[in-house]
Amino acid sequence: MPRIICAGHLNWDVTLRVDALPDPDGEVPVTDRRAGGGGSAGNVAIGLADLGCDVALLGGVGDDEEGRRAREELTDAGVDVSHVVTAPELPTTRKYIVVDSSGEVMVLGCDGANETFEASDLPESNLADAEHLHMTSQDPETAARLAERAKEHGLTVSFDPGRRIGDRGYGPAISAVEYLFLNDREAALALDAFDLTEQTLVLKRGPEGAEIRDGERVAHPGYPIDVVDTTGAGDAFAAGFIAALVDGADRERALAVANACGALVAQAPGARTSLTWDDVDAFIGE
């Protein structure tokens, strides 16, 4: 399997499960609490490693216990973390994730070290050995430069800019990528703000499945599941799509795999659920 590089946020997630979100000035009990590594780039990297890919991560953490544990989790999963930057003056970025009984998610973020890396932190030799670069939410200038460097080395590039696509100036980065991962809300913003005629849009539509648009439309209806926690489902979707794509799958197969990976994660608590090809193929019915 060819090498894939993931670049973007690496966080420490504290997930709190509740039966329902409280009303203003109200209070509800926490039914479960867990902590572990998170961040969209970290989640995608682990999903790719689970699916047998050779994957390296470019990101940033603080010089603290959370940063060390986040690195250890990635290393244990088989991800190359030699290009994860440690920022001694900043803490590892924390996200507090509240999940209600329907699996819907609310995120509270604390600033930290997850955007302290630069495009120059990725050596030329690493790019020369890779086939694909997947970027997630990060500093817009870093994203644009990473995409440019990847193109110089002949890599295909995908980008999942996340919920802040409308206010972070991602135009130069988006113009340099082939595949753009978006949910419905993000797609509405992107279609208004950017010229997307050169990009293949991979639209994540939750319970309605997913589709690819690039002048033609390929759709997959998804799978009926009982949702437990949607945290990380979009990252698992991206991991499945990229793993299938670099393995030579056609678009229908790539969407089926992506939807299966997203559904497998959404059926379990937390942002990361172990993915295997046996589980994916069983879910698809192959």
Check: CB of residue 106 under 8 Å from CB of residue 21. yes
Check: CB of residue 170 under 8 Å from CB of residue 161. yes
Residue 59 main-chain phi, psi, to 5 deg: -165, -170
Q: Could you give the angle at which helices 233-246 and 251-266 cross, rounded to 10 degrees?
A: 150
For the entire predicted model, the pTM comes to 0.93
HSE-CB at 118 with a 13 A cutoff on CA atoms is 3
Please indicate whether residue 235 is annotated as part of the active site: yes
Question: Could you report how far apart the first and last alpha carbons of the chain are, in Å?
Answer: 21
Please give the Cα distance from 114 to 256 (Å, whole number): 31
Mean pLDDT by 10 residues, the chain (286 residues): 91 93 90 92 96 96 96 96 96 93 86 95 92 96 96 95 87 94 90 88 91 91 87 93 95 95 89 88 83
Please give the Cα distance from 256 to 94 (Å, whole number): 32
State residue 286's pLDDT score: 60
Where do the structural domains in the chain lie, given as residue ranges? 3-9+40-85+118-284
Instruction: Work out the mean pLDDT of the chain and round it to a whole number.
Output: 92
Residue with tokens 């010089």: 63
What's the CATH class of domain 3-9+40-85+118-284? alpha beta
CA distances to 186, 258, 263, 285 from 281, in Å? 29, 11, 13, 6
Q: Which of 13, 50, 80, 235 is catalytic?
A: 235
